[in-house]
């Protein structure tokens, strides 16, 4: 097994052997004449669709900078519980409260504390009593 040859070696070889470059160009041109470039319509439509998704011009709302900031603030305080994501919407509700606080110009940390205290109060009020 030989070692790797640098790209500079191939550049100098192609520069010093113009017949190699001409032969490769002729082969490429012949291949294009025989097979063509093919149907590129699917490639072009997928590129357009990717652009539309990236720019939000496909009828869907993009996540705004306010929502991204609210999610970052909430993630500093509490992460969503992966075990209860099907029935507990605490994390999404908390993000909503922070979005409202940011839009109102009030303190998001105070809004989170207030909402969480109400959340835990309601949760403890609804706990079933043990009967044995």
Please report where in the chains the tokens 């790209």 appear, as a residue: 7
How open is the CA angle 7-11-16, to the nearest 5 degrees? 150
What does pTM read for this prediction?
A: 0.48
Could you tell me the sign of the dihedral formed by the alpha carbons of 115, 121, 126, 131, in that order? positive
d(CA 59, CA 48): 14
97 pLDDT exceeds 50? yes
pLDDT digits (tens, 9 = 90+) for 58-73: 565 666 788 888 989 9
d(CA 90, CA 83): 12
d(CA 129, CA 131): 6
Least confident of 20-29, 42-51, 54-63, 120-129: 54-63
pLDDT digits (tens, 9 = 90+) for 16-42: 999 999 999 999 999 988 988 778 888
Percent of the chain with pLDDT over 90: 39
- The Cβ of residue 96 has, within 10 Å, a number of other Cβ atoms equal to 15
Q: Are 123 and 90 in contact (CB under 8 A)?
A: no
């Amino acid at each position: 097994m030989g070692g790797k040859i640098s790209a500079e070696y191939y550049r100098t070889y192609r520069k010093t052997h113009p017949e190699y470059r001409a032969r490769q160009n002729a082969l490429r041109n012949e291949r294009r004449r025989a097979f063509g470039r093919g149907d590129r319509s699917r490639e072009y439509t997928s590129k357009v669709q990717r652009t539309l998704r990236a720019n939000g011009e496909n009828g869907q709302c993009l996540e705004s900078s306010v929502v991204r900031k609210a999610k970052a603030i909430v993630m500093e305080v509490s992460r969503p519980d992966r075990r209860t994501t099907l029935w507990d919407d605490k994390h999404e509700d908390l993000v909503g409260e922070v979005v409202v606080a940011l839009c109102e110009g009030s303190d998001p940390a105070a809004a989170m504390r207030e909402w969480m205290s109400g959340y835990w109060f309601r949760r403890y009020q609804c706990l079933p009593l043990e009967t044995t």
